[in-house]
Each structure stands twice: as C-alpha cells, then as structure tokens.
Amino acid sequence: MTARREQGGGPGPHARMPAEWEPHDATWIAWPHERSDWPGKFSTIPWTYAEIVRRLSSDEYVEVLVQSPAQLGRARRVLTRSAVDLERVRFHVCPTDRSWTRDSGPSFVRTGPASSAAEAPLALVQWKFTGWAKYDNWQLDRGVPEWIARHLGLPLHKALSGSRWVVCEGGAFDVDGSGLLLATEECLLGEPQARNPGLGREALESVLREYLGVEEVIWLRRGILGDDTHGHVDDVARFVGPRAVVTVTTDDPSDLDFSALSENREVLDAYRSRGGARLDVRELPVPRPVLFGGLRLPASYANFYVANRTVLVPTFDDPRDADAIDVLRKAFPGREAVGIRARDLVWGFGTIHCLTQQQPAARRASGR
C-alpha cells in the first residue's frame, strides 16, 4: 500500500485537526530503545511504557512501532508480563531514532465539511522534523509520517510555506478542534534555535490555518525550565474543551518558572475572541522540581494524554499529584483520570503526551 504524497497545498478547505478528546481509532507509540535518552535509568522505561499501553489498550487499539522483529519479541514479553491484552496491540516494524511519536509522527486531520465531520476521511500532515533543531540523528524519525500514511493508505501533505517545508513538532501546538491553537513564541518564533529562520508570525499562522484548519493562534510566551524542545506548549497549557484551557501555575515567586508561567497566564486571561468571548482558564499545579544528574527536568502535569475513556496523567511522587489528577478528572467528566508514575520517564525530557499520537476515528480508507 502506498501513501498518496501531496506536495502542494493543504488537505483542503474543510481540513480540521480534531481535538484530542474526540473519538480515537488508535494511539500510536514507538517502543523505547535509545538508551542515551535515559542514561542510567533505561531499564525501567519499557515497564513504564507497558503500563501506558495497558491503560490505553482498554480504551482503543495501540499501534506500536518497533525497531526489528527481535525488539517486537522483547516488547511482547514485557507487555505480556504486564497483563496487557495483546489482542488490542498491533506491532509494526518501522525503525525510529527515538520514541517521541508526538513530535516525529504525523498530525491527523479530517478533510470533510463540518456537517459530516464525524464521518470525514483522514489525511496526514507531515512537518519537517529536525530533531528539535538540536540533535543530529533524526533521519529515521523523519520517515515515520510517510510509513504511517503508507500503512493506512492515506494522503500525506507536507506542510509548506510557499516552497519551504516548515519545521515543527506535534508537541509545539495544541488545538481545541473549534478553531483555536496554542503555541509558544519561544518555540516557533524564538532564537537562537530558529526552527524556521526568516519565517515570521504571519507566515506561520497562515501555515497552521491551511494545514490544521485553525482560525486563531494564541501565542504564549515561554515554556518551562528543563524542556529540551525550547518551549513546547504541551508542558505549559492545554485545551480541555472548546475555548477551555488548563495552564500550569505557581504562586511561589522563588520558583524559577514563576515569571514564565505568570506571563502565560496573563496572555490567556487577556484573550478575547472576535466576538469578545473569554477563555475558560483553569489552573494546574506544578510539582516540586525534579532533579537528576544536576539537571532540572521538565516535570509537568500538562503533559497528560486524553484517550477514549481515560486521561493518563504523569505523576512525580509529589503531594500535588492528587491535585493535578483531580483537576483533570473534573475537566473530563466521564473519563477516568489515572496517574502514571513518570519520575524516571521525564529523565528523557518528556512524558506521556510526548510519546503518544492519536489517530482520530473517521471513515476508514479502502483496505484498512
């Protein structure tokens, strides 16, 4: 099966990236293998992934990318010992550099008019992945969207600004499915990393409108300390409903993130739609700083993932874990908010949202 690669133009005038809480057919992940991402802690990581897969597979299918048939066997053994229902897990040999599927994977969009959105076929958007403008080994990861598009038999659209392929990652933005998108200036407009030198705010907003179907971009200021991605928004603020946002806050001026988080909160409070409507802004606490090897790690409850019946929340052996779970339980009534111990996982500079990519439910393509 081949992917229909579309080089020019977006997925169409009715393209819309669904919100994460809309129904899924599956969640995609890549089984962990890059030991340098978790130096000294890698042995615990497959078991954390297994718990994530166990929880997800009770809700929806989990599509697992593995490096080789040998790794497939190892992953299967870990999942079996962790009481995962393997009938709900599908393995695919697709080599990757790392396991952060949110960032290297495609963005799924629906392509039908609003009146038929629930049945609209899917298309994939492929961003130019460059290892967060930081690492050299990204070549295998860059091929993941094309592999998934080929497997699913779906059209694949390169996100272009003119003839220029736009650098971005899935964790750099969050959508509410109703026209709004969150991003940070630090990540997509900032220096010195400059993912897209010379491509300014207006041009980037045009790309986001064309390929994801958004109407407005809400630009927050900065991400949190320890974030290896230069300010991904999925560590600071996330949509939990149409025009409803949870944002990470602290009232402790001695916290090194206090200034950045306060600025972001001010932006959200000040936002008004063209009709004058405000956002529904809710607060998420911050855990105490998580340190390892002299580094402050990007521990954030905002890196949660919304599955069909569950919200998976990273936890850090912190008294505030329960408060964060309670906030997200109330934000998603009808779903079970479940803590996943992520203190070792965050040593890789990411947690649950970073490693997952949702495949929205839509009319299946022929042959799938």
- The C-alpha atoms of residue 84 and residue 77 are separated, in whole angstroms, by 10
Q: Indicate the helix (H) or strand (E) that contains 240.
A: strand 237-241
Of the listed 94, 168, 187, 354, which one is catalytic?
Answer: 354
CA 102 to centroid of chain Cα atoms: 4
166 contacts 160 by C-beta, under 8 angstroms: yes
Helix axes 45-57, 69-81, angle to 10 degrees: 70
| 168 catalytic residue (yes or no) | no
Q: For residue 19, what are the contacts with CB-CB under 8 A and spacing of at least 6?
A: 175, 176, 177, 178, 239, 242
Q: 80 vs 45, 144, 187, 342, 345, CA distance in Å?
A: 16, 26, 39, 21, 21
**60 three-state secondary structure:** coil
The encoded tokens of residue 101 equal 């599927």
**355 three-state secondary structure:** helix
- The C-alpha atoms of residue 80 and residue 71 are separated, in whole angstroms, by 14
The 3-class secondary structure across 328-367, one letter per residue, is HHHHCCCCEEEEEECCCHHHHCCCHHHHCEEEECCCCCCC
The encoded tokens of residue 246 equal 């949870």
- What residues are annotated to the active site? 354
